[in-house]
Amino acid sequence: MLQEEQTVTFQPIYEGYQPWFAKLFVFYLFVVLIVLLLRSARFVWILLKLRKRNERSESLFNKVGGGLFGQNASSKQLGGLTVLVSILNLSWWTADILLGVRAEKTPTLAYILPAIGDALTAFTLGIIVAVATLGGSMWAQFALNRRRTALFGQK
């Protein structure tokens, strides 16, 4: 009696589905990072320019610094928006997963857990970008306050 060789194949239950809104979220994060890099470079360039001038003109600092303070406030708002968009993406993706499970006759954890893991990975990436945005805003506020104090004393 001859025995045939049987090969064991692995067929995953979950195949890494990424909905359209998750792809849009990644694009949003990419745009936020580009905006932050451009703003950071401009911010550092203006601070260095102010340091080279070393003028103690309060009107010049208020004119230039006012724009930087406004830009910094805008970055804080962008960080808050990123947190909210991250939460929206996580909840939408989780709802999408659970609606898919509802249609199954026998839902298994082998399908649910990897899908939730993908959603949490995107959420974590969004939170990292938000923390970087808010941390950069805090650093910028500190740098502006320190520059103002160095030029004009305590206010």
Q: How many CA atoms lie within 13 A of 99 on its CB side?
A: 6
**For residue 116, with 0-12 CB atoms within 10 Å meaning exposed, 13-18 middle and 19 or more buried, which class applies?**
middle
Q: What pLDDT score was predicted for residue 32? A: 96
Q: What pLDDT score was predicted for residue 13? A: 62
Query: Which pTM does this prediction carry?
Result: 0.78
Q: What pLDDT score was predicted for residue 59? A: 66
| CA pair distance 35, 74, nearest whole angstrom | 11
Q: What pLDDT score was predicted for residue 36? A: 93
Q: What pLDDT score was predicted for residue 14? A: 61
pLDDT in tens, the chain (155 residues): 556 666 666 566 666 778 999 999 999 999 999 999 999 998 888 878 777 766 666 666 666 777 788 888 889 999 999 999 999 999 999 999 888 888 777 777 777 888 899 999 999 999 999 999 999 999 988 988 887 787 776 65
**133, 78 Cβ separation under 8 angstroms:** yes
Q: What pLDDT score was predicted for residue 111? A: 77
| CA pair distance 31, 37, nearest whole angstrom | 10
